[in-house]
Amino acid sequence: MVIFFLLIACIAEVIIGSITKDFIWFDLMMITIGFMLLECYRQKNVKIQKVFTYFTAVWFLWGIIMLGFTVAEKLTGLFQNYDVHVFIFGIGVLIMWSGVYMGIIKKLRCSYKISARYTGPQSYTIKGRTSYTPIFSFQYNDVVYSNTSGEVFSKRKLDKKFQIGEEYEIYIDPREPNSFLTNKRIGISWLFWVLLGLLFLFVAFS
């Protein structure tokens, strides 16, 4: 229920900010998202806690810094458009970190090979396009885990690659067993995210 009210507050802040064209509402929206992520963590609705903690801290810090520049601009007339630069910089950091984590760091950490049972796909639909990520169940150190790998496939490719009920070799992170991959190759798509993030950082500093 708390998450629902925070989500409503977030949407309201976006609407008010768009109508008033006052950036302070977007700053508050980011801080609200931080509280929303924190509440998800508190309710244990997350599976990879370290990564989630990082993103929660980023949203809080991002929103507070932007709020500081916005307030300083209103009070002193200085720091004009600094909040816009911080906004673009934050987008760049999030995009680049996603590419670095999923494309490089996660593949290095997922080093332990184990047999797991494919239990089916989880679907995501964005702008009418549906993608799928596989769900695997396995046992490690006498604990049973079940999670998605986070890798995205088309329905045709996923059905060709995995059959429900069959066992396949996956690579888990021994420190965070719920974090795993089916393939350790570094894909071009993740390198694209890193380069896109660097582009945003370049725009922010330029």
What are φ and ψ of residue 203, in 5° steps? Answer: -65, -40
pLDDT of residue 167: 94
pTM: 0.56
- In one letter, which amino acid is 168? Y
In CATH, 111-183 is 3.30.565: no
Is 177 in a helix, a strand, or coil? strand
pLDDT of residue 187: 66
pLDDT of residue 50: 61
pLDDT of residue 125: 77
State the 10-residue block means of pLDDT for the chain, 206 residues long: 82 85 84 83 60 77 84 79 78 78 77 93 78 91 88 86 93 88 75 78 73
What are φ and ψ of residue 129, in 5° steps? Answer: -110, 125
Residue 196 to residue 183: CA distance in whole angstroms: 23
Residue 55 to residue 128: CA distance in whole angstroms: 27
Domain regions of the chain by residue span: 1-76, 81-105+185-206, 111-183
